[in-house]
């Protein structure tokens, strides 16, 4: 997903042709890892939320986003859709845990800034017992999918994970502009920001100053701006459209 295009939706195997543009894109599959071997149950549950059982294809979110933008005449490229893959997102969360001191104990607040159909929100909930998990999404039809997915979480996931693991987790979906919503209580902020522009990153960085020192802010392709955020690691993550650079930053007191 480049900034100029296009919700190109590509799936393994390694070379795919975009149905939208006819362009060929190279994508690679991640090798199976010990981490993913240990997360078979979570992979299965994520699939229950977003897989064929619900009639979802890999392009479900992208199609809903496109239809709403077309219907409403929204032309901003900052609304371009693309999404995480559960496997590489799980690896990212593991990096936060093992290398950056996150999620050492149960609890904490996870916020997805521009949550789409909610994949990082429910992905995070499967990977850690957060106290609160928040998704903020401006497009109403994407937000509605998040709310519907909550019902599937309650019906299909909660009984498998059990009461003790799930009863105190509070989910909150906001159909709002993330520059207006309050996310200052986050411990981990996730922003799949590849298609956000410079001015949006400046505004998000200004708003992010309300976060407590130590808060982790993960962005893709674009970094937080200004001295209030230290870059602590940079890595690559495969997403629905291919590889993205991921920046792990920490809010610092400056």
Ligand X SMILES: C[S@@+](CC[C@H](N)C(=O)[O-])C[C@H]1O[C@@H](n2cnc3c(N)ncnc32)[C@H](O)[C@@H]1O
Q: Which residues form the interface with ligand X (CB under 6 A)?
A: 65, 78-79, 81-84, 112, 114-116, 119-120, 136-139, 142, 177-179, 192, 195
- Cβ proximity to ligand X: between 18 and 104 the closer is 18
Query: Which of 43, 201, 46 has its CA nearest to residue 113?
Result: 201
Residue among 62 and 250 whose Cβ is closer to ligand X: 62
Closest distance to ligand X from the beta carbon of 105 (Å): 25
Burial of residue 240 (number of CB atoms within 10 Å: 0-12, 13-18, 19+):
buried
CB of 164 to ligand X, least distance (A): 28
User: Are the C-beta atoms of 163 and 149 separated by less than 8 Å?
Assistant: no
Q: Which is nearer to ligand X, 83 or 187 (CB)?
A: 83
CB of 163 to ligand X, least distance (A): 28
- With the C-alpha atoms ordered 237, 93, 158, 182, is the resulting torsion angle positive or negative? negative
Going by C-alpha positions, the residue among 155, 181, 182 that lies closest to residue 166 is: 155
Q: Which residue is nearest to ligand X (CB)?
A: 114
Residue 64 DSSP SS3: helix
Cβ–Cβ under 8 Å, residues 230 and 250: yes
Please state the closest distance from residue 166 (CB atom) to ligand X, in A.
Answer: 21
User: Measured from the CB atom, is 169 or 191 closer to ligand X?
Assistant: 191
């Amino acid at each position: 997903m480049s900034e100029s295009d296009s919700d190109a939706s590509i799936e393994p195997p390694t070379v795919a042709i975009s149905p939208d543009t006819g362009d060929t894109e190279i994508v690679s599959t991640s090798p199976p890892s010990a981490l993913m071997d240990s997360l078979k149950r979570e992979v299965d549950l994520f699939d229950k939320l977003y897989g064929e059982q619900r009639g979802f294809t890999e392009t479900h979110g992208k199609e809903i986003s496109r239809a709403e933008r077309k219907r409403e005449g929204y032309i901003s490229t900052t609304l371009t859709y693309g999404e995480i893959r559960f496997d590489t997102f799980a690896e990212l969360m593991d990096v936060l845990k093992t290398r950056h001191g996150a999620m050492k104990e149960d609890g904490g607040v996870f916020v997805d800034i521009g949550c789409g159909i909610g994949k990082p929100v429910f992905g995070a909930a499967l990977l850690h017992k957060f106290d609160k998990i928040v998704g903020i999404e401006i497009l109403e039809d994407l937000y509605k999918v998040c709310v519907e997915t909550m019902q599937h979480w309650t019906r299909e996931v909660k009984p498998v994970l059990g009461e003790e693991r799930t009863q105190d987790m509070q989910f909150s979906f906001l159909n709002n502009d993330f520059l207006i919503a309050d996310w200052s209580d986050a411990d981990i902020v996730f922003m799949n920001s590849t298609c956000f522009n410079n001015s949006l990153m400046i505004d998000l960085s200004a708003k992010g100053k309300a976060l407590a020192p130590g808060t982790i802010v993960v962005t893709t392709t674009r970094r937080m701006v200004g001295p209030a955020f230290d870059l602590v690691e940079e890595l690559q993550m495969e997403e629905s459209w291919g590889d993205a650079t991921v920046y792990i930053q920490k809010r610092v007191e400056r």
